[in-house]
Amino acid sequence: MLPYAAYLRVYEPLTAFTPSERASWAAYAEAADRPRRASALHAEHGEAVLRLLGVPPTPAPAQESPNAYLRRVEDVLYVCPWQSRLRSWLAFSRFRGATPVRLMERFVPVSVAEQTADDFDRFKRRSGSAALRTHIRTSTWHVPTSWFVPFDGNERWLVLDGQRGPGGTTTTRNLIYVTSMAHARRRTARALQIIRRQVGEVTVTAEVEEVARWLEEFHPHSLVELDYGGIVHLMDAEKLRADQSAAELAAAITGLETGEEELAFAMYQRVILRWRSIQLLESAN
């Protein structure tokens, strides 16, 4: 929910939800006042900023968000719940675990941090591990290399300021990939097999395996979406047009499979160097 963040999302078909959830999401889809696609990310980010700017700050909302990202394909409604409270709890737990206590106090009062942790612990005891599944993964300041594996270069959709895209004219640039769960799982499994055979158990192997396991948690007829989100504002139009990370990574994996090691290395390096240069902007003056 940060401004310079990318998102990996899973949209499940309405049939994947419980009967009560189906009725709720179906009604939500027809609601006139729900956040629309063009403004949903801005609204989600705005909610997080208001919580964190409060006195004292609120690391996680008191109630789970009723909102979701929606897609319709051939009259089938696909739903990706925001899960703002759960995602905030998970993010805060990671942040708290990686931050020294004295430094932590500068961000969140001890009493607030402990109350947030207690609330999350109660939720986990009451709901079980299955309730910790999130439909959205977030990455700040870059797109992880493993996130490109489920997609094909032809599934890339780029809209620059003022261009017309699905649903009408947009004034906000955007770059997304969308594919079926079947394609995403097949590509990820293939990549994992090739990388293990040709490279071994290295960091990228574990990262691709983590994505593969996450995808297995959802309905087999889901949709998978990679959204550059606020990352597009770190790249000018020329860089966005030239960014073919999914196609380049696919070429690298195929190069490994066919024994074209120089091609594989060159394509992989293009992806790594592109995103390393963008990630460095986080520490730039």
What is the DSSP annotation of the chain?
--SSEEEEEEEEEGGGS-HHHHHHHHHHHH-TTSPPHHHHHHHHHHHHHHHHTSSS--SS-SS----EEEEEETTEEEEEE--HHHHHHHHHHHHHHHS-HHHHHHHS-HHHHHHHHHHHHHHHHHH-GGGG--SEEEEESS--GGGGTT--GGGEEEE-TT-EETTEE-SS-EEEEEEEHHHHHHHHHHHHHHHHHHT-S-HHHHHHHHHHHHHTTS-TT-EEEEE-GGGGGGS-HHHHHH--HHHHHHHHHHHHHHT-HHHHHHHHHHHHHHHHHHHGGGG--
pLDDT value of residue 47: 75
pLDDT attached to residue 57: 78
pTM over cut 0.95: no
pLDDT of residue 158: 95
- Please tell me the predicted confidence (pLDDT) of residue 169: 44
pLDDT at residue 48 in the model: 75
For residue 110, the model assigns a pLDDT of 83
Can you give the pLDDT at residue 170?
A: 47
CB atoms within 10 A of CB 168: 7
Q: Which residues of the chain have pLDDT under 50?
A: 1, 165-170, 285
Angle of CA points 146, 46, 127, to nearest 5°: 65
